[in-house]
Amino acid sequence: MKVKKSLALGMAACMGMQLLCACSRQRTDKIEKVQMGVTCYDQSDTFISSVIDSLKEQLGQYQNEGVTATVTVMDAAGLQRTQNDQIEELISSGCNVLCVNLVDRTDPSEIIDLARKNNVPIIFFNREPVAEDMLQWSELYYVGAYAEQSGVLQGELAAEAIKADNGIDRNRDGKIQYVVLEGEPGHQDAIIRTETAVNTLKENGILLEKLSYGIANWSRAQAQNRMTQMIGQHGDKIELVLGNNDDMVLGAIDTYEKLNFTKASWPVFFGIDGTDVGLEAVLDGRLAGTVYNDKEGQAGAMVKLAVALVIGEGMDEIEFEDDRYIYLPYRKVTSGNAGEFLAE
């Protein structure tokens, strides 16, 4: 009972605050306190945790521009229900802008309703809601990257490597025997990356033979298991491993190392992300290449947009696609430039 009452009081106070915010947003005086609430689908995800680190760092830099900024980060640990509750908590604690990395990108309605009721804008990131859901309210934004481009660039990197080194076709049959490690089914980046990478290889004249694929849900540990199964089936016939992200190809490499395969019978590996561990693997030659998923660019766009939404200034400086979307481009990474990315 007591809990309920204080919650109700808290909510009332918070709604009061939101009203104040709404009013002052219409007036000309600036709200200088940005209170950002972030919730992510799983904070143990290597790429997501690095986006959040960069976001905290870049939000901190706004302090000296006369804006006070705080950020609260929550981990939904794979449960949409938990994430919905976190949104309620973040709003009650006074957050005036939300950054949401959905657990289930097809299920944002409850979150959108809560945000709309309290007039707190949402910036979705990395896990893109479907277009109809983005139309549920005018204060919804998305920051991410072009999924197709990442697959095209990965396919080009692999094609360039195969053309430059005929030793990759180890059995000299003129075809490249390959396997794919795929991210979560239903994620906008998983299927598209696979399809566009494979099509790009074909368009570049590479003959392919698909031996197998494994769904490893972006996870290094799951990829180790999938790779063990695929090696069990195909032994040393695998010449190329494409991964929808770096963590999964690193898991595949872990398996080759654990099974003591000689380097001469390793396939070549290509990832996507350019996480720190991925870049290091490119530099030490275990990973032939990766595609940079611009975490700093995405975090920077979120911070800029969040500040503009709260203080009501600077929106006209932001370039959107279809009014509410910001997509950052991917870039190719090889051993020649991986060091520069590591320094970013």
What residues line the site for ligand BGC (CB under 6 A)?
45, 47-48, 126-127, 187, 189, 218, 245, 272-273, 293
CA angle, corner 112, sides to 115 and 187, nearest 5? 135
Q: Which of 166, 171, 229, 265 binds Ca ion (CB under 5 A)?
A: 171
- Tell me how crowded residue 226 is: count the other CB atoms within 10 A of its CB: 24
Q: Which is nearer to Ca ion, 178 or 341 (CB)?
A: 178
Q: Decide whether 190 or 201 has the Cβ nearer to ligand BGC.
A: 190
Give the containing element (helix H, strand E) for 171.
none
Whole-number minimum distance, CB 107 to ligand BGC, in Å? 15
Q: How far is the CB of 166 from Ca ion (least distance, A)?
A: 10
Q: Is 169 in the site for Ca ion (CB under 5 A)?
A: yes
* CA–CA distance, 29 with 237 (Å, rounded to integer): 67
3-state secondary structure at position 289: strand
Give me the least distance between CB of 239 and ligand BGC, in Å please: 24
Burial class for 48, CB neighbours closer than 10 Å (0-12, 13-18, 19+)? buried
Instruction: Decide which of Ca ion, ligand BGC, none touches 169; Cβ closer than 5 to 8 Å per partner kind.
Output: Ca ion
Q: Taking CB under 5 A as the rule, does residue 106 contact Ca ion?
A: no
Which partner in ligand BGC, Ca ion, none is near 258 (CB below 5 to 8 A by kind)?
none
**Residues forming a β-bridge with 325:** 142, 321
Integer CA distances (angstroms), 176 to 95, 239, 288, in order: 52, 6, 15
Q: Which CB sits closer to Ca ion, 241 or 279?
A: 241
Q: Which does 340 bind (CB under 5 to 8 A by kind): Ca ion, ligand BGC, none?
A: none
- The answer to whether the Cα torsion of 154, 53, 216, 327 is positive or negative is negative
Question: Dihedrals φ, ψ of 17, to 5°?
Answer: -60, -45
The torsion angles phi and psi of 131, rounded to 5 degrees, stand at -55, -40
Closer residue to ligand BGC, CB minimum distance, 125 or 162: 125
Structural contact between residues 142 and 270, judged by C-beta atoms closer than 8 angstroms: no
Residue 135 beta carbon to ligand BGC: minimum distance, rounded to whole angstroms: 22
**Interatomic CA distance for residues 145 and 129, integer angstroms:** 13
CB of 173 to Ca ion, least distance (A): 5
Contact partner at residue 173 from ligand BGC, Ca ion, none, CB < 5 to 8 Å by partner kind: Ca ion
Distance CA(199)–CA(70), nearest Å, equals 44
Q: Which option in ligand BGC, Ca ion, none does residue 304 bind, with CB closer than 5 to 8 A by kind?
A: none
CB of 235 to Ca ion, least distance (A): 13
The token pair that represents 141 in the structure block: 């934004």
The entry of Ca ion, ligand BGC, none near residue 218 (CB within 5 to 8 angstroms by kind) is ligand BGC
Residues that bind Ca ion (CB under 5 A): 169, 171, 173, 175
